[in-house]
Amino acid sequence: MKYSDTEKISTSALARKKAVSASAMFELLLTAGYLKKSGGEIELTEAGKSAGGETAVSRKFGKYVKWPKNLKLADAPEDVSEQPLVTATFIGEHFAMSANKVNYMLSELGWIKKSLKGWIVTDHGKKLGAVQSEHRKTGVPYARWPQAIVNVGVLRESVSDITGEKPSQGVSLSKASPDSAGFRERFPTKHRATDGHVVRSKAEMLIDNWLYMAGIVHAYERKLPIEESAYCDFYIPSGNQVYIEYWGYENDKKYLARKKEKIKLYCKYNFHLIELEDKDVQNLDDIFPRLLLKFGIQPY
């Protein structure tokens, strides 16, 4: 059967049409044998070509695969409402983790947030197909998820991070990274903060020390919970989950290009971001409390 160009859409567009996340769609295409991983790249297979897949090139996004709008996959329903909805208990059993740990992991990813009792689905979680529910007797809120959530690469990578186990083949579907191009080699970690974090500059050490002395739990260079492989400078998991970026190499062209791409990612996923420059680091006591308070984080 021949397909015209007008009948074909990108993998991301196909995922939106099927009402699943892009990561889940990539997993389904890999499982179906329509795509394969080769040398860190995703390639179209002969089976994928037979199903109507076609490699295309975009000036903006580079090489990608187009699919027929009516592409059928056994494990990709037309809508997430056709998938069985599962709870944290099911996800925990799948990954051999407790339901409580699963919920905190989903919260750390920004898919749910803690309520006075129970868990509330965030906008990010809704995009992944989560449904807000509540216990019939107690009224305690909780989230239900499309069963395919266990195949989402970002979730499986988080499980690997927590358990310390090597991810299974095909888990990581990360796209090109604004943190690539040897950034970590060019700017090595060499400054030890008070809490033991080893950071890349004196300014980052001052930021880390300020957060530690203010009693704010934080992570350094935490991977963003997205398909693209990108890392924030600092991450505050409590409250409204805030990411902090210190822009410190304004005279470096590669760094500025990286900065531009990272800001696009923060905007794309609607993450809470605090941006700091050298002039801010010199006045953290005056600036930081005000910026954090905007996101409901109270220092000291």
- Average pLDDT of the residues in 285-300: 90
Is 227 or 57 the better-scoring residue by pLDDT? 57
Quick: pLDDT tens for 55-114. Answer: 988 877 778 889 988 887 654 444 444 567 899 999 999 999 999 999 999 998 889 998
CA–CA distance from 28 to each of 18, 31, 266 (Å)?
11, 5, 26
Percentage of the chain beyond pLDDT 70 is 84
Question: What's the pLDDT score for residue 187?
Answer: 66
Question: What's the pLDDT score for residue 1?
Answer: 43
Fold annotation for 183-293: Endonuclease; Chain A (3.40.960)
Name the residue ranges covered by the structural domains of the chain: 5-68, 80-163, 183-293
- Average pLDDT of the residues in 113-125: 89
Radius of gyration of the chain (CA): 21
- Average pLDDT of the residues in 15-35: 74
Q: Where are the beta strands (DSSP E) in the chain?
A: 8-10, 35-38, 41-44, 54-58, 62-68, 85-86, 112-114, 119-121, 131-134, 141-146, 191-192, 198-199, 219-220, 234-236, 242-246, 272-276
Question: What's the pLDDT score for residue 7?
Answer: 76
Our CA angle for 174, 266, 168, nearest 5°, is 20
pTM of the model: 0.63
- Collapse the DSSP code of 298 into the 3-class scheme (helix H, G, I; strand E, B; otherwise coil) and give the result: coil
State how far the Cα of 21 lies from the Cα of 227, in Å rounded to an integer: 10
Q: What is the residue-averaged pLDDT of the chain?
A: 82
